[in-house]
Structure 1
Amino acid sequence: MQGQEQEMEVDVDVAQATEASNLLQLIKQLLVEKAYDGVRMLFQSAQEAERNIRLLAHIAMDLYHDVCFVNISDEVNSQEPELFDCSDELLKLLARFAPLQELMLELMERLEESRSLNVFGAYLRALQVVLQRQGRDKPQAVEWCLQSAFTRLRELPLPKYLSEGYDEQQARLIEQNEQVEDLLAHYITVGLFRQPLCSEILLKDVRAPDQIFRDCSQNRRNIFACFLIQLLGRPLALLEMSHVKEDLTRTYVQQVTDSLSKDASQFLGDPFLLLNLVEQRARWLRKLDASKGVYEMSCRNVFLIEEKLPLHAVAMYYHSLFVGNQLPANAPRIYAPLFLFETSAYLAEVLLRQQEPPLQYCGLRLVEHLLGILIEPVPATSLQLDVHKRFCEALCKIVGYSPQVALRQLGLHVLRQYILGFDDQGKYLILKNLLETLQHDGLMGYLGGMYKDLVDKALSKSEPIPEVYSGKMFREMLLLCVCVLPHDVKSDLLLHSDRLCHALNILRYFAVRDKADVTGFWQALPDITRILLDPLGKALNFSMAHYKAYKERVERGQSASDDELMQRQLNMLAVNITNSGMAGGDGDSHLPDIGRQEKLDVLASSITSLETLQSLYLRASEIIEQSSRLRRNATSSDA
């Protein structure tokens, strides 16, 4: 009896296989005849749909290879769009019955190879069905599928200026660029792909009532959270335009960013969850397991792995939450502003160290926002965190050397607000450290002037002046601010002219402002005179005579190739001339071949700069002498 049943089952299987083969041939014939509605009727009519759909399991992969793979292409889409659409519908249908792993691998490969939005969308719709069938099983396979989609987004061509930086005018037209439009269309397609999957996961993959700690292992919910945040990084981050389009209506970029941020927050539950993990990744060094290529404990926490969750993408997520005002209404309110500032500083530093100006802008905006929500000044003890040093280094590099003028200006504003966000001791320590380590004269002069303004504010108050603005600490800072002659009288005054001007103005200010010597300025003046004023006066006379003599030799047509100082100055001129298109240059260290008039121009400019500095020096020396005489007279009168 059992043998008869098995024989009957075999007969049924053979019969179904035969019917399925016939169905496959019928579909192919109908497609050849361009009877696309006839193909649809096979799976939609009440009489045939049930039987034909049941047979799909036998021919799903054959149908994929013989029909879908062949016809889902750009060429077919442009020449026979109806055939393309019909094949697209068949692919989504057979995805419900085909062997999961086999079809999944095929779809992953096709996604990465797709060269148009239509092909990408067709395979993504089929992948959506496959992942719904997959459910919670094999989460790593789900991750591979999502990475295939992201790989295609990452490889889409984009205008070069997105990475180099763009101005406000370019930003206003950025979404009209054909390549940017294509990228955004791909992102929107991914949004349609993920929505039903996200809804299902949020509904079904919930924490058990008895589960106390969050499960950070490789499960479907965490994989989707990482994927959503990863999408906020490059290339989408290159389109972040809030810094130049604040007056415009909501853009497509903002809509995509807001949607991704909202979904990511839902998956995380607590949007601040990653901040603790960011500190683990950026501050604490974990052991690397070279054999596995991962860091210690990463296998237990997917949020610790850079490949799954790049830090720059995490930074863009928090940029969206804070700067983009996407923090959920139900977000926890227990986090102190100081904690948010300190932990987000790691992410801001990551963005500032990126090569692309749009990401650097986002890092500045993130810090600017978090400084604005601080209730109390940041205590100096916070500077024990190494992130402050790294953040200042990255920020000062942008302020001093970025080719983007607007970026330098915003960076300087953020640097000022950052320093002012600390208590008095913190301000002092940051300024002192920067003045000891920076090499950019203009920025050092600015910081020196900032310290002068802080002292002025302290002197204006009736309460006792803080320790950091008087006595030994004031003297140490003042010497850092004004003593800028590294080679004594042989120093290149033109190289340090900006900082020297700031230094002389600082001396003039304190000579007039602090006649009572509350700060200890007059006690430090002898050292300042010995280290700065006396050698600066000699250096000015020497440099002025030197440049004027050289100018006379050039006017007479005499060579001065032995004069290294002049040669360096003329090399600087050659660079300027080359950059402006006035002349060529080979970039070597020898005296450039420039004309006599160009030499005279740069010498005249140099002499003018020295005369300005000398005038400022003489005026400062005069004011210091006058104030000193008034103090001596006042002391004599009191006696």
Structure 2
Amino acid sequence: MDTQEFISSVEKTLKEKPEDAINILRDPINSEVLGKCCWELIPRLSANLTEEYYIKNVNIYDCTVDLLLEIANTANPEDVFFEFIELAEKQKFFRSFINILRAIRILLMRAPQRRGTSISWCCSAIGHYLSEINLPQNSKLEGDEELILENDVQFQLVEEVYIEVLDFFSPFIEEIESGNYTVSEKHIDIYKDTLLKYLLKLFGHPLVSTYLEHSNNKSAFRRIAEKILQYIACFHIDFFSFLEYATFSSKENINLESEFNNLSLGVFYYLILVEGLYINEISHVYSNLYLFRQILWLCLTLMNSEDSRAHWKGLSLAENILKRIVEKELDFKKIDRFQSQEFVQLCSKIMIYSDSKRNRQKAVAIFTTFIRIFNPCGRYYLLLCIPEKIKEPGLIGYLSVKAKDFIAEALLRKNLEELKYFNGKCLHDLIKKFCSLENDTETDLMRYADQIVPSLNLLRYLVLRDKTNFTGIFDLIPILEKTYFSPLQKAIEISRAHYNLQKKEIHQSSGDSNQKFPTAVSVGGENLPEFSLEQKLQILNNALNMFDLIESLLTRLTECINDQS
């Protein structure tokens, strides 16, 4: 029987009598022809490995898998190894990937002398498959609630793949742990190095998007993460030694060809430092400043992800390393400015835009702590540069509050080193960031109220506290009168008139207080949806009350200025 007749016979039997097909491969008469045509038979059989085929004819699918495993057990490993690797790289259906992975492990175990160099191809195929997995997002679930996601079919499939991947690595880890190698002696180092690097990569996507926190009901993915750490511990290395590979980029570098990437290293150190896994086995010989610099790159990558669960891990890791730094310890001139700017920007975005409440809350706390660990120069620089990058009124208002706190602390201590960043031109530049109207007199005061109110409070504090004009605040008053106070008063008058007009239009549109009206009402630059008359009036009255508050603060500030003068 020639090779084509043999392949046709296998395919025909597989369709007509699936269970008998394997007997053709096991028949000693066909051993020679099987050896000659394996490279062609494998891709022909792979046509049956799709999810659609599994659904339509599971019997033929299962028998096809049996045939491939039989080939892995009997064929020359060197003849079919790359056929199976190519097959693994093409798979989309998780069951097929798992079964091909089992076949590849059989081949590796049968050819130990080649395993030292061949293992990298297998790891690469695993990494490629994991990188293609997508997990559903649900930012409404937080903390232990995320365990519910493990009932999702997609999460269960990912769990099954990870379990199979760990099973794939198991015999090789046992070999490393025992020290009894069957691989070629000259390949032992590269063999160990390859396994270690790919075990670390398993912490990246999609494990980064799973629930890994300690809880009474330990999640399946937490158990998987602990198993990976257990495997890595078998290499008896210093866990902190990988910090030197943290790359100087916040972008989510998950290049499959790179030896290390920030995403997987970030999860690795999250498990150690935040979750406390294997923390007692680490030799703490690294300075806190070194840990801060290196781990912050990993935090940036996690926080720059589009996944809220990655954000939580990045924030938690940042919180851990920030606790190691004493307030005002960092000299801004000696740290990476790009790194610091990136961190506060990403932290700010999570504070403002994240759908996750606990992420927002943690980001606010970390944001404040981060600024406070810098010396006065660093604090000033961050307060000055953040509004340039993120022009969100609420954030700028928050920075005004922080600036007021720092100035108050410096004045209380009479610390000239700190005060030099909050007087004269430095103070002027800072005030310009906080005390500005986006569209002059036409500024939407409802949108910018969170910036305006704190800025007026800051100015009033300075006027009342600095009676000797040490900070130079009174030198700025003439400028502020022209650029801020006067336009703001005019904006209040325009906004108040606009909102009063909208109230009048609503009253005139109908006498029925319970029906909905087509009259368009705009607040904060956005048209309101169809509300009842009472609801619309309540919203407009709230806006008018805000205008009254701003005007009251402005009036009080003016009085304070006049009194001091």
- Check whether TM > 0.5: yes
Q: Which AA in structure 2 matches 1:438?
A: I
Larger Rg: 1
Which of 349, 360, 363 is residue 300 of structure 2 equivalent to?
349
2:545 aligned partner: 608
What is the alpha-carbon distance in structure 1 between the residues aligned to residue 497 and residue 394 of structure 2? 26
Which of 98, 120, 124 is residue 75 of structure 2 equivalent to?
98
SS of the residue 1:272 aligns to = helix
Alpha carbons of 1:192 and 1:435: their partners in 2 closer, same or farther (altered >3 Å)? same
Which of 221, 226, 229 is residue 261 of structure 1 equivalent to?
229
Alpha carbons of 1:201 and 1:135: their partners in 2 closer, same or farther (altered >3 Å)? farther
1:282 aligned partner: 249
Task: Please say if residues 432 and 480 of structure 1, whose CA atoms lie closer than 8 Å, have aligned partners that are also in contact.
Answer: no
Alpha-carbon shift at residue 516 of structure 1 (Å): 4.9
2:554 aligned partner: 617
Residues 1:359 and 2:326 are matched in the alignment: no
Instruction: Please give the root-mean-square deviation of Cα atoms over the aligned residues, in Å.
Output: 4.7
2:191 aligned partner: 220
SS of the residue 1:173 aligns to = helix
1:434 aligned partner: 386
Alpha carbons of 1:136 and 1:382: their partners in 2 closer, same or farther (altered >3 Å)? farther
1:187 aligned partner: 162
What is the alpha-carbon distance in structure 2 between the residues aligned to residue 183 and residue 304 of structure 1? 20
Q: Deviations 1:265-293 (Å, cap 9, x if unpaired)?
A: 655934334332334x539xxxxxxxxxx
Alpha-carbon shift at residue 512 of structure 1 (Å): 3.6
1:485 aligned partner: 437
Alpha-carbon shift at residue 388 of structure 1 (Å): 1.8
Q: Deviations 1:554-586 (Å, cap 9, x if unpaired)?
A: 6557xxxxxxxx999469443x42xxxx49xxx
Alpha carbons of 1:72 and 1:390: their partners in 2 closer, same or farther (altered >3 Å)? closer
SS of the residue 1:248 aligns to = coil
Task: Please say if residues 322 and 370 of structure 2, whose CA atoms lie closer than 8 Å, have aligned partners that are also in contact.
Answer: yes
Residues 1:237 and 2:208 are matched in the alignment: yes
Q: Which AA in structure 2 matches 1:349?
A: L
Unmatched runs of 5 consecutive residues or more in structure 2: 1-5, 183-187, 510-518
Q: Which AA in structure 1 matches 2:228?
A: L
Task: Please say if residues 199 and 228 of structure 2, whose CA atoms lie closer than 8 Å, have aligned partners that are also in contact.
Answer: yes
Alpha carbons of 1:618 and 1:157: their partners in 2 closer, same or farther (altered >3 Å)? closer
What is the alpha-carbon distance in structure 1 between the residues aligned to residue 496 and residue 58 of structure 2? 81
**Counterparts of residues 535-614 of structure 1 (less than 5 Å):** 535-549=487-501, 551-552=503-504, 569=522, 572-574=525-527, 576-577=528-529, 582=530, 603-614=540-551
Alpha carbons of 1:268 and 1:479: their partners in 2 closer, same or farther (altered >3 Å)? farther
Alpha-carbon shift at residue 501 of structure 1 (Å): 0.5
How many residues end up aligned between the 2 structures? 534
What is the alpha-carbon distance in structure 1 between the residues aligned to residue 439 and residue 64 of structure 2? 80
Alpha-carbon shift at residue 171 of structure 1 (Å): 0.6
SS of the residue 1:144 aligns to = helix
Alpha-carbon shift at residue 130 of structure 1 (Å): 1.6
Alpha carbons of 1:446 and 1:57: their partners in 2 closer, same or farther (altered >3 Å)? farther
2:185 aligned partner: none
Q: Which AA in structure 2 matches 1:196?
A: P
Alpha carbons of 1:85 and 1:336: their partners in 2 closer, same or farther (altered >3 Å)? farther
What is the alpha-carbon distance in structure 1 between the residues aligned to residue 318 and residue 114 of structure 2? 41
Q: Identity over aligned residues, as a percent?
A: 21
What is the alpha-carbon distance in structure 1 between the residues aligned to residue 78 and residue 257 of structure 2? 27
What is the alpha-carbon distance in structure 2 between the residues aligned to residue 506 and residue 514 of structure 1? 12
Which of 531, 534, 547 is residue 486 of structure 2 equivalent to?
534
1:452 aligned partner: 404
SS of the residue 2:306 aligns to = coil
Alpha carbons of 1:547 and 1:125: their partners in 2 closer, same or farther (altered >3 Å)? closer
SS of the residue 1:355 aligns to = coil
SS of the residue 1:250 aligns to = coil
Alpha-carbon shift at residue 372 of structure 1 (Å): 1.4
What is the alpha-carbon distance in structure 2 between the residues aligned to residue 328 and residue 98 of structure 1? 46
What is the alpha-carbon distance in structure 1 between the residues aligned to residue 263 and residue 551 of structure 2? 48
Q: Deviations 1:569-605 (Å, cap 9, x if unpaired)?
A: 469443x42xxxx49xxxxxxxxxxx99987666544
Which of 500, 511, 514 is residue 452 of structure 2 equivalent to?
500
Alpha carbons of 1:470 and 1:107: their partners in 2 closer, same or farther (altered >3 Å)? closer
Which of 123, 126, 132 is residue 146 of structure 1 equivalent to?
123
Greater mean alpha carbon deviation, residues 518-527 or residues 613-622: 518-527
Greater mean alpha carbon deviation, residues 115-124 or residues 381-390: 115-124
Alpha-carbon shift at residue 528 of structure 1 (Å): 3.5
What is the alpha-carbon distance in structure 2 between the residues aligned to residue 342 and residue 33 of structure 1? 60
Alpha carbons of 1:392 and 1:272: their partners in 2 closer, same or farther (altered >3 Å)? same
Which of 272, 283, 288 is residue 321 of structure 1 equivalent to?
272
**Counterparts of residues 381-530 of structure 1 (less than 5 Å):** 381-461=333-413, 466-468=418-420, 470-472=422-424, 475-476=427-428, 478-480=430-432, 482-530=434-482
Residues 1:124 and 2:101 are matched in the alignment: yes
Alpha-carbon shift at residue 445 of structure 1 (Å): 0.5
What is the alpha-carbon distance in structure 2 between the residues aligned to residue 334 and residue 56 of structure 1? 60
Alpha carbons of 1:181 and 1:550: their partners in 2 closer, same or farther (altered >3 Å)? closer
What is the alpha-carbon distance in structure 2 between the residues aligned to residue 465 and residue 389 of structure 1? 23
1:291 aligned partner: none
Task: Please say if residues 396 and 434 of structure 2, whose CA atoms lie closer than 8 Å, have aligned partners that are also in contact.
Answer: no
Alpha-carbon shift at residue 156 of structure 1 (Å): 5.0
What is the alpha-carbon distance in structure 1 between the residues aligned to residue 18 and residue 452 of structure 2? 86
